[in-house]
Amino acid sequence: MEVIKKLPTNKIICGDCQHIIKSFPDNSIDLIMTSPPYADSRKKTYGGILPDEYPDWFFPKSAEFLRVLKPTGTFILNIKEKVVDGQRHTYVLEIILGMKKQGWLWTEEFIWHKKNCYPGKWPNRFRDAWERCLQFNKEKKFNMYQDNVMLPVGSWSKTRLKKLGSMDKIRFESQSKSGFGKNIANWLDRDMVYPTNVLHLATECSYKDHSAPFPVELPEWFIKLFTLEGDIVLDPFSGSGTSALAAARLGRNYIGIEILENYCEASRNKLLNVEDTLFKISSTGAKYD
Amino acid sequence: MEVIKKLPTNKIICGDCQHIIKSFPDNSIDLIMTSPPYADSRKKTYGGILPDEYPDWFFPKSAEFLRVLKPTGTFILNIKEKVVDGQRHTYVLEIILGMKKQGWLWTEEFIWHKKNCYPGKWPNRFRDAWERCLQFNKEKKFNMYQDNVMLPVGSWSKTRLKKLGSMDKIRFESQSKSGFGKNIANWLDRDMVYPTNVLHLATECSYKDHSAPFPVELPEWFIKLFTLEGDIVLDPFSGSGTSALAAARLGRNYIGIEILENYCEASRNKLLNVEDTLFKISSTGAKYD
DNA sequence: AGCTCTTATGAATCATTGA
DNA sequence: GTCAATGATTCATAAGAGC
């Protein structure tokens, strides 16, 4: 496959990422944020890679990710090992060790604490309430914009933020982009602290079937932390398009790759809505108090 | 070294655990709960095992742990990899893989979320607010007393008698054709729930006792979960004796092994106080509600 | 608008049954 | 026998409904 000069940004591409990315130029992506299909012991389901075969399935892809990532870029891999025959499987550990052999630096492991994890009771195990968000880098010096994910001190703002609907969040982001809006000023007055490497987010419980593996806040957080506006965010296993949605909301250029056509369609529809809203906000100059 | 018949329970033994444990009989310990000395790039400090050498330092010890653990017993290893040269080191991953080769089952990984972790700021890294508590077992069937660590139910059901949602009823009725059984009792009047594999505990921040690696609540939780009164709890890297203290408080028999004499002394003093108090309580018949 | 109450559901895991 | 499908168990959250 011929290497292209211009990346196909702000698109959901339908296909196998291992093949598609081969056409991307070296050192061109600022952030890769993805949650690959989980290993599964059932053979027939989509993405049902057997746990034992998972590392070998993954390594050719991570090698391409390494090639296209900018030296200052970051790769965030959201993953969790399944229980197989009463034990945690080791494929995630093997992936970390194998990626280091490929040349990746394993910089950090963030914990996503799933506040509303799946229920259940078993004689020898509690509910699984966390997943790994592994941070890999190409170089020891990488871009990190810590001030963009600072948290207000205390709980006063938690209730306030929680009350905002998703549309309000879009408005909030568009306001903070342009840097005005009196709400922002109010919020900035408060004391802010840096977060830790533990993220507390609830999974999305949607009424409809637009289920996403992770809440949009998860990619949002990493996109704000590791990219600036106009940077390029790649999700090679785009699924329902949550990472792309987060990137679009935040004014980053997204590239989503997804192998299943119906997921691609659903993602594109979601993204059209967001982009339409963002355009309207910016063109009417609407303000919100 | 001769194998002894009677375990030296309720003692802090001063010495190298790898040597001491050789005298313990097979299949005699109910729970091993420990936090080994951390790997350290500075050689001269106590426990300053180099990260690269850490797995080989650890494996002879974990082999002995496997031998002395009862088939129904559990080994909880509290550990976290250090950052070395900008990366998370891989010695913990290597330890998991190596222990599996020794015959251990890697059953689960609990997360200890440190709510008030140390402050600090670095340009490319946030504060580290979590540690691993790795659960290893000898057999797939092991003792686990889940009811002993139940938690008050979340605030979502403030009503004393929470009613079942209709979907829950449908699920219930489709599941049990025999009508109402004892399970209904589990649902009504529910005010306690089972925890998850994420533990939220504050770290102890005392200036004087710099040595305590974890708060006493951490070993307490695992001791309650995996042992009964009268069972034997071993901490082969006893340090300031936090695990032994937790075991003593809970009426379990402890064995602490610690290589540094001054830590042993400090532990023994702490434990004397506790045992004295416990003795007084039992002999006066005092009760607490 | 603000509450409370109801309802649906989610990257789960184990035991049992069926092929 | 091995492997795949089904049933049983369970809790925090958000959207909707009602007041």
- Which tens digit of pLDDT belongs to each residue from A217-251? 999 999 999 999 999 999 999 999 999 999 999 99
Residues A130 and A160 in one domain: no
Residues A31 and A93 in one domain: yes
Whichever domain contains A251, its CATH number is 3.40.50.150
Higher per-residue pLDDT: A284 or B81: B81
CA of B141 to C1' of D2 (A): 22
Burial of residue A157, with CB atoms counted within 10 A of its CB: 0-12 exposed, 13-18 middle, 19 or more buried: middle
Let me know if residue B95 belongs to a domain.
Answer: yes
Residues A236 and A210 sit within 8 Å (Cβ to Cβ): no
Q: Which pTM was predicted?
A: 0.90
Let me know if residue A1 belongs to a domain.
Answer: no
Asked whether residue A37, judged by its CB, lies under 7 Å from any atom of the DNA or RNA strand C, the reply is yes
Let me know if residue A6 belongs to a domain.
Answer: no
So what's the pLDDT on residue A42?
Answer: 63
Residues B209 and B275 in one domain: yes
pLDDT at A212 over 60: yes
Helix (H) or strand (E) holding B13: strand B11-14
Give the distance from residue B38's alpha carbon to the nearest chain A alpha carbon, in angstroms. 18
Query: Tell me, what amino acid is at A85?
Result: D
Q: Of B166, B192, B218, at which residue does a domain stop?
A: B192
Residues B172 and B100 in one domain: no
Residues A69 and A95 in one domain: yes
Put simply, whether A107 touches B (Cβ < 8 Å) is yes
Residues B171 and B131 in one domain: no
Let me know if residue A245 belongs to a domain.
Answer: yes
Which residues of chain B neighbour A195 with C-beta distances below 8 Å? 126
So what's the pLDDT on residue A65?
Answer: 98
Tokens of A35: 């949650």
Residue in B108, B144, B146 nearest the CB of A88: B108
Put simply, whether B116 touches A (Cβ < 8 Å) is no
Residue in B100, B117, B146 nearest the CB of A196: B117
All residues at 6 or more sequence positions from B280 whose CB lies less than 8 Å from its CB, including other chains:
B286
| Owner of token pair 């140390």 | B118
At A141-177, the pLDDT tens digits run 999 999 999 987 754 444 444 444 444 444 444 443 3
Which residues of chain A neighbour B197 with C-beta distances below 8 Å? 126-130
- State residue B24 phi and psi, 5-degree precision: -80, 145
Residues A188 and A50 in one domain: no
CA of A152 to C1' of D7 (A): 46
Let me know if residue A3 belongs to a domain.
Answer: no
Residues B67 and B84 in one domain: yes
Which residues of chain A neighbour B124 with C-beta distances below 8 Å? 107, 141-142, 144
For residue B146, what are the domain limits?
11-150+194-282
Nearest to B195, CA basis, from A258, A138, A129:
A129
So what's the pLDDT on residue A40?
Answer: 82
How many residues are listed for chain A in this entry?
289
In the three-class reduction of DSSP (H, G, I as helix; E, B as strand; rest coil), residue A130 is classed as: strand
Helix (H) or strand (E) holding B62: helix B54-68
Asked whether residue A205, judged by its CB, lies under 7 Å from any atom of the DNA or RNA strand D, the reply is yes
So what's the pLDDT on residue A171?
Answer: 47
Q: At what angle do helices A217-226 and A242-249 cross, to 10 degrees?
A: 50
Q: Of B137, B170, B192, at which residue does a domain stop?
A: B192
Q: Of A134, A165, A192, at which residue does a domain stop?
A: A192
So what's the pLDDT on residue A277?
Answer: 73
Helix (H) or strand (E) holding B201: strand B198-201
| Number of domains present in the structure of chain B | 2
Interface of B with A in 58-87 (CB under 8 A): 85-87
Residues A201 and A187 in one domain: no
Higher per-residue pLDDT: A251 or A179: A251
Is beta strand A69-79 parallel, antiparallel or unpaired with respect to A130-137? antiparallel
Q: How many CA atoms lie within 13 A of B252 on its CB side?
A: 29
| Owner of token pair 């990260």 | B51
Let me know if residue B277 belongs to a domain.
Answer: yes
CA of B193 to C1' of C5 (A): 21
Asked whether residue B115, judged by its CB, lies under 7 Å from any atom of the DNA or RNA strand C, the reply is no
Let me know if residue A288 belongs to a domain.
Answer: no
- Cβ count near B44 (within 10 Å): 6
Residues B112 and B204 in one domain: yes
Nearest to B53, CA basis, from B90, B21, B85:
B90
So what's the pLDDT on residue B180?
Answer: 33
* Least confident span in A36-45, A196-205, A255-264, B270-279: A36-45
pLDDT at A61 over 70: yes
So what's the pLDDT on residue A158?
Answer: 46
Let me know if residue B122 belongs to a domain.
Answer: yes
Tokens of A19: 């093949």
Helices assigned H by DSSP within chain A: 17-20, 54-68, 91-102, 156-163, 166-178, 182-189, 217-226, 242-249, 261-284
Higher per-residue pLDDT: A285 or A102: A102
Which residues are paired to A108 by β-bridges?
A135
Residues A49 and A95 sit within 8 Å (Cβ to Cβ): no
So what's the pLDDT on residue B153?
Answer: 79
- State residue B194 phi and psi, 5-degree precision: -80, 150
**Which residues of chain B are modeled with pLDDT < 70?**
41-47, 154-190, 205-212, 284-289
Residues A236 and A183 in one domain: no
* Least confident span in A16-25, A88-97, A168-177: A168-177
In the three-class reduction of DSSP (H, G, I as helix; E, B as strand; rest coil), residue A136 is classed as: strand
* Least confident span in A112-126, A175-189, B190-204: A175-189
Distance CA A251, CA A242 (A): 14
A26-36: average pLDDT: 98
Residues B200 and B171 in one domain: no
Chain C bases having any atom below 7 Å from a protein CB: 5-15
CA of A41 to C1' of D4 (A): 10
A254-278: average pLDDT: 89
